[in-house]
Structure 1
């Protein structure tokens, strides 16, 4: 309950206008320590090489190459570099949603605290990701292919070339999007969402199958009533609604490939063209034919 009370609702992901306040790459000295402290913006750390230990709220996290860690405002933390394995990392301070893309240096917002404050649960951050529903932004995750994107952000911040605040915002949106996609793919699902991961994956991979509630529940090993309850609570949609959303998402892709409406409906498991068109218009506001024509005009 205490963790829930410290949850921060960031809002709709597609509407965010994040600002990078600071970005840097450095190699720490043996045993170099940051904290215990808290910050007033948010921070992402990417480990290039070496080892460090992060105490974040009630958790102690060992950080290695290719791993990322995130913490938000007013979450007490302490980062300690290894004495024997040189710790090289990239760090980004940011705000989730601001009007101006211009960086606001975070130094004034860094406050020291006491070791006893590390017993305070850290804040969690929730996003609403369009048709995917609500998700918790991951705290500790592995993304070894993100080094180049972090490095681009560090470079833009350091050199301050004309227009760099907008470039920083664009690159950081790209970084956040990759993290969100990575989380939604199921590799590092947490909490209740991990329980329904097999069903989510099945629907995404095979939206053409007319999955029943019992079949999806069996994939996760739960009674249909319990499965339906946690599915709706976690995703924000019933399993049937989610299947329809995935079908229409796939339908839009197929329609843009110049596929015929009837052909798309059949490919996605619809036995009624009328029912497919009704679903499509309910979700998109357009009929499949209107969607195709509008795309061609643009």
Structure 2
């Protein structure tokens, strides 16, 4: 038993990795009245969710009174203090994590040192996610698999907290940014589906836009029609693949052309050289 808590349990990740989000530890506890942490800083991200009781959290020049359903967020390097209520100390659960996308994820759900508390989340779902995170590190002889699982549950937890915090998410689209988002969706679709047979009708249908509207917005933003943009993606990728040992047929198939001869004609028209000539020139240049 932790001497600062009436109830305390914790699960620790035995691995140290560099995932996008890597759970370090997760726990649950009921501290004694007036139990205090800080003023201090951590070198990792930490989220507490209050299940019952009351406490006070301070960071970023603000003081918050937190009760059941509130979650408070600690950023690495940011000074914080939190203290349990004297008469009704909180019972909370927590998870600490690091990772390449940790800071970006906090920003995406509308959390910052100046806005460090989220209220109104679904307590049942939240507790469910925390429990799964903790249980990940108690299951098997394969901690690398447990860590992958814990990352998934952590993302679900943060997604749920973000849903409760939409009024603090600042990147809501204006009319202009909404158009950029729509065109961005189309570009992303083409970048991922260029190996497939793609039509404008199919693209518009999959994205939920009218064909004419999509084409107009796309050309205004990029200067190209969607099919011209797709063609350039395929040709640029073909240039990369022609630097490998793949055959012309294999390159053609890999960039969405079923007919290698037709691919060669299109590549010639686009680059000024047939694929075989382009490849030969690359080899001569590298000598």
Per the shorter chain, which TM-score range? 0.5 to 0.7
Partner SS state of residue 127, structure 1 = helix
Aligned length: 205
Structure 2 vs 1, CA of residues 178 and 150 (structure 1 numbering), >3 Å: closer, same or farther?
Answer: closer
**Which residue does 1:242 correspond to in 2?**
181
Structure 2 vs 1, CA of residues 73 and 160 (structure 1 numbering), >3 Å: closer, same or farther?
Answer: farther
Q: CA deviation at 1:174?
A: 4.0
**Which residue does 1:261 correspond to in 2?**
199
Which of the pair has the greater relative contact order for Cα pairs under 8 Å at 6+ separation? 1
Q: CA deviation at 1:126?
A: 4.2
Q: CA deviation at 1:136?
A: 7.4
Q: 2:133 aligns with which of 153, 164, 169?
A: 153
Q: Distance in 2 between matches of 1:64 and 1:292?
A: 56
1:162 maps onto 2:141 in alignment: yes
Structure 2 vs 1, CA of residues 154 and 181 (structure 1 numbering), >3 Å: closer, same or farther?
Answer: closer
Listed as ranges, the matches of 1:201-212 within 5 Å are none
Q: 1:141 aligns with which of 112, 118, 121?
A: 118
- Which has more radius of gyration? 2
Partner SS state of residue 132, structure 2 = helix
Cα displacement string for residues 126-147 of structure 1 (whole angstroms, at most 9, x for unaligned residues): 4289xxxx85761322432322
Q: 2:211 aligns with which of 250, 260, 270?
A: 270
TM-score normalised by structure 2 residue count: 0.54
Q: Distance in 2 between matches of 1:186 and 1:81?
A: 24
Cα displacement string for residues 154-212 of structure 1 (whole angstroms, at most 9, x for unaligned residues): 2234x36422354234323442365358648971434xx35xx253xxxxxxxxxxxxx
Cα displacement string for residues 20-59 of structure 1 (whole angstroms, at most 9, x for unaligned residues): 2221111122222122222222212122222221011311
Structure 2 vs 1, CA of residues 170 and 155 (structure 1 numbering), >3 Å: closer, same or farther?
Answer: closer
Structure 2 vs 1, CA of residues 182 and 36 (structure 1 numbering), >3 Å: closer, same or farther?
Answer: closer
Structure 2 vs 1, CA of residues 59 and 261 (structure 1 numbering), >3 Å: closer, same or farther?
Answer: same
Partner SS state of residue 86, structure 2 = coil
Partner SS state of residue 65, structure 1 = coil
Structure 2 vs 1, CA of residues 17 and 126 (structure 1 numbering), >3 Å: closer, same or farther?
Answer: closer
Q: For the Cα contact (< 8 Å) 1:43–1:71, is it kept in 2?
A: yes
Q: Which moves more between the two structures, 26-35 or 179-188?
A: 179-188
Q: CA deviation at 1:291?
A: 9.2
Q: CA deviation at 1:292?
A: 9.4
Q: CA deviation at 1:278?
A: 3.5
Q: CA deviation at 1:80?
A: 0.9
Q: For the Cα contact (< 8 Å) 2:49–2:71, is it kept in 1?
A: yes
1:51 maps onto 2:54 in alignment: yes
Structure 2 vs 1, CA of residues 265 and 95 (structure 1 numbering), >3 Å: closer, same or farther?
Answer: closer
**Which residue does 1:21 correspond to in 2?**
24
Listed as ranges, the matches of 1:56-71 within 5 Å are 56-71=59-74
TM-score normalised by structure 1 residue count: 0.53
Q: CA deviation at 1:259?
A: 11
Q: Distance in 2 between matches of 1:58 and 1:75?
A: 10
Structure 2 vs 1, CA of residues 177 and 156 (structure 1 numbering), >3 Å: closer, same or farther?
Answer: closer
**Which residue does 1:93 correspond to in 2?**
96
Structure 2 vs 1, CA of residues 176 and 76 (structure 1 numbering), >3 Å: closer, same or farther?
Answer: same
Q: Distance in 2 between matches of 1:244 and 1:147?
A: 38
**Which residue does 1:187 correspond to in 2?**
166
Q: Distance in 2 between matches of 1:184 and 1:281?
A: 38
Partner SS state of residue 147, structure 1 = helix
Listed as ranges, the matches of 1:281-296 within 5 Å are none
**Which residue does 2:5 correspond to in 1?**
none
